Amino acid sequence: MFYKLALLLIVGLPLLLLGAGQYGMLQGQAPQDLGVTDGRLKLPSLSRNSVSSQASLYPDHPQRVHAQIEPLPLKASGAPASISALARVLSQLQGVTVVEQRSDYLRAEAQTRWLKFVDDLEFWIDPARGVIELRSASRMGQEDLGANRARIEAIRTAYLAAP
């Protein structure tokens, strides 16, 4: 009896999770407060599943240190060209879709292949600092095992290499 229960958990639970992902049950909903408000992107998540170049603006935030990541530099050709270069980089990444693009702001969604989890990515040109502020956060869960940080660093590498 114990072996049947163990087998059911070992095989059945992953299949159930995979099925839930394939049917879109693990996507979550896009937060309503994305975007830029008073020169700030949405604050980092309260759990360890986000990164933000503006984390230092929230000194008492419980995930400030974990979430902190450097912004992207602007391209020499200026702000709109920087957003365009970033959009080209994102369009080349598997599972990433640009959902909003303006001359100073870009929002994208990144979806994992098997379980279809969705992360929200935001990039905003801060004219005062002359950088692209960024935020990437999972919609669901408490921990992303570094997925948002790794994705942003891969984007950074491709963006810096782009003309």
Give the Å distances, CA to CA, from 129 to 2, 35, 38, 74: 61, 18, 14, 10
**What is the pLDDT, as a whole number, of residue 86?**
98
Say what the pTM is.
Answer: 0.86
Task: Please give the domain boundaries of the chain with CATH numbers for all domains.
Answer: 27-161 (3.30.310)
DSSP letter assigned to residue 134: E
pLDDT (tens digit, 9 = 90+) per residue, 17-70?
545 445 555 557 889 999 999 999 999 999 999 999 999 999 999 999 999 999
8-12, 72-76, 155-159: which range is least confident on average? 8-12
**What is the pLDDT, as a whole number, of residue 14?**
59
Query: Does pLDDT of 12 surpass 90?
Result: no
From 22, 13, 11, select the one nearest 111 (Cα to Cα).
22
Give the Å distances, CA to CA, from 86 to 77, 113, 163: 13, 22, 10
Q: Which pair of tokens denotes residue 158?
A: 């491709």
Contacts 24+ apart (CB under 8 A), 1-8: none
pLDDT (tens digit, 9 = 90+) per residue, 106-159?
999 999 887 789 999 999 999 999 999 999 999 988 999 999 999 999 999 999
**What is the pLDDT, as a whole number, of residue 21?**
45
